[in-house]
């Protein structure tokens, strides 16, 4: 399912136009992204929690040349599904 399919499904469930559903989804995604950008977590009851996690710098190997490379530290998004979602 892609964003277009999701917006159509939301529009049908909410009895609204697909254009309004796209606007709502875009706004929700923007709010979640802004919260994650400021290192806050977003918990949606019955669905799950989006949070950021720090990955430490580490040494890796370039598979084509087999030489060692440094992989820098970075922040990644982590999703932990809620129990009802896990049980599906």
Task: Give yes or no for a contact between 47 and 81, defined as CB atoms under 8 angstroms apart.
Answer: yes
Per-residue pLDDT, 7: 93
Q: pTM (2 decimals)? A: 0.80
Domain count for the chain? 1
For the chain, where are the alpha helices, taking DSSP H only? Answer: 3-14, 18-37, 83-86
CA atoms within 13 A on the CB side of 76: 7
Q: What is the CATH classification number for the domain harbouring 11?
A: 4.10.520.10
What domain range is 9 assigned to?
3-86
Residue 37: C-alpha distances to residues 40, 61, 69, 72 (Å): 7, 30, 28, 19
In the block, residue with structure tokens 């599906």: 88
Q: What is the pLDDT of residues 16-58, one digit of tens each?
A: 999 999 999 999 999 999 999 999 999 999 999 999 999 999 9
Task: Give yes or no for a contact between 71 and 59, defined as CB atoms under 8 angstroms apart.
Answer: yes
């Amino acid at each position: 399912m892609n964003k277009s399919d999701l917006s159509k499904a939301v529009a049908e469930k909410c009895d609204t136009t697909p254009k309004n559903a796209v606007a709502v989804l875009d706004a929700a995604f923007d709010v979640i992204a802004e919260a994650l950008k400021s290192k806050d977590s977003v918990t949606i009851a019955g669905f799950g929690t989006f949070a950021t996690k720090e990955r430490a710098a580490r040494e890796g190997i370039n598979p084509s040349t087999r030489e060692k490379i440094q992989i820098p530290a970075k922040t990644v998004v982590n999703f932990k599904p809620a129990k009802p979602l896990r049980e599906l």
